[in-house]
Amino acid sequence: MELKRAVITGIGAITPVGNTAPDYWNGLVHGVSGADFITLFDASKFKTRFACEVKGFDPVAYLDRKEARKVDRFTQLALVSSDEAIKDAGISKESVNPDRTGVIFSSGIGGLLTFQEEVMAYAKGDGTPRFNPFFIPKMILDIAAGHISMRHGFRGPNFAVVSACASSTHAIIEATNYIRLGKADIIVAGGSEAVICDAGVAGFNAMKALSERNDDPKTASRPFDKTRDGFVMGEGSGCVIVEELEHALKRGAKIYCEIAGGGATADAYHITAPHPDGLGALSVMRASLDDAGMKPEDIDYINVHGTSTPLGDIAETKAILGVFGDHSYNLNISSTKSMTGHLLGAAGVIEAIACIYAVINDMVPPTINHSTPDPELDPKLNFTFGKAQSKKIRAALSNTFGFGGHNASIIVKKYA
């Protein structure tokens, strides 16, 4: 069977460094840190008192007030990014076949804030179970995909993919496969996360996963730096419109780039730690190249998972050297999490968007906050420290890895 080609025809994003996709890219290119002290709740007693929050977000500026109250913050953000992407692609229920237009939208955790609020209210009460009737519909991870479909009348495939921090990359891979197999014309794909709350921060603190650099939050996310001490939590949402090429051409759509391929593997090693030799990361990058029918030398830029954890950054670097060999030294590598923080289930899609913009603009976003070289990392690798770099980018690869050993990687390339 000859597979159809999948292209990107729309982009949307709301992130800690920009509340639209173009603003997000502008923030990345200029090395803006989205980290600051937490304003969404009182974190004064927490080990970590900072995060990468979305700035100036008022849901009623985007949604009807009554509608906004019925959905968790992660769904609010999902609706904002998907609205932008759908508008950018120029599609509507009237302009496309709604039965062949689907939504695959992810989250790593879902409505944690809703869960926290409802359970805390119950615990403070007299034991009488008084729960909001929207408690369950606000909390469940698939609900963002459901709301997007209902908002726009899209009746095609509709579900959520859940694989922790690899979730939205898996969502894009699934969307691509539906398009390739001819099972849909268009898939709205992406992810959303909003867990900057007591339970979210305390839970990751208990795991010793978060940076505790409270004296200097803006530089706390420092991938590949010897002094890195954990990731910085972020929130936000990203969305891409994945469309079958001929369908896009027939309706005169703007084409950003092509999805060349994707891969999915498991570490089968540990619930939170990567394999020390990066075997899962190595296998997923090879799987992506195989799926795309590409050689290592065809890749010019890697947007790494690069969370700023002591173990993860080293393991991923070992994997890159294992896959790309001597070509590793020709690559640009960067971690945009140094600016956005880690958006967990939404990380994959916003980093895929960074790759899309990198390909169409021939520009590599930087890894910021680097000051002390790590002797365990190969000094000949180009981590794009400090400033964005101009470079001809034919294809870019994006890595995401999730707790449970889930690995996902996708490749985007110039459309031709």
Phi/psi for 187 (5° steps) reads: -130, 130
Q: Both ends of the chain: CA-CA distance in Å? A: 22
- Tell me how far CA of residue 79 lies from CA of 175, 185, 231, 390, in angstroms: 18, 21, 26, 33
Residue 96 half-sphere exposure, CB side, CA atoms within 13 Å? 31
Cα distance between residue 315 and residue 283, in whole Å:
12
For this structure, is 305 an active site residue?
yes
- Indicate which residue of 342, 355, 370, 406 is catalytic: 342
3-state secondary structure 367-405: ECCCCCECCCCCCCCECCECCCEECCCCEEEEEEEECCC
How many alpha carbons lie under 13 Å from residue 156 in its C-beta half-sphere?
25
Torsion 354-399-334-202 (CA) sign: positive
Whole-number CA gyration radius for the chain: 20
Instruction: Choose, from 152, 247, 275, 305, the residue flagged as catalytic.
Output: 305
What are the distances in angstroms from CA 357 to CA 11, 242, 306, 362?
10, 15, 19, 8
Q: How large is the angle between the packed helices 347-361 and 167-180, nearest 10 degrees?
A: 60
The stretches of 21-72 forming alpha helices (DSSP H) are 21-29, 65-69
- Identity of the amino acid at 351: E
Encode burial over 289-323: b for 16+ CB neighbours within 10 A, e otherwise.
Answer: bebbebebebbbbbbbbbbbbeebbbbbbbbbbbb
Q: Does the active-site annotation cover 247?
A: no
Q: Which candidate in 52, 152, 165, 170 is catalytic?
A: 165
Backbone angles phi, psi at 70, to 5 degrees: -90, -5
* Sequence-ordered strand ranges (E) for 117-248: 158-159, 186-193, 236-244
Unique residue bearing structure tokens 């079958």: 244
**Catalytic residue annotation:** 165, 305, 342
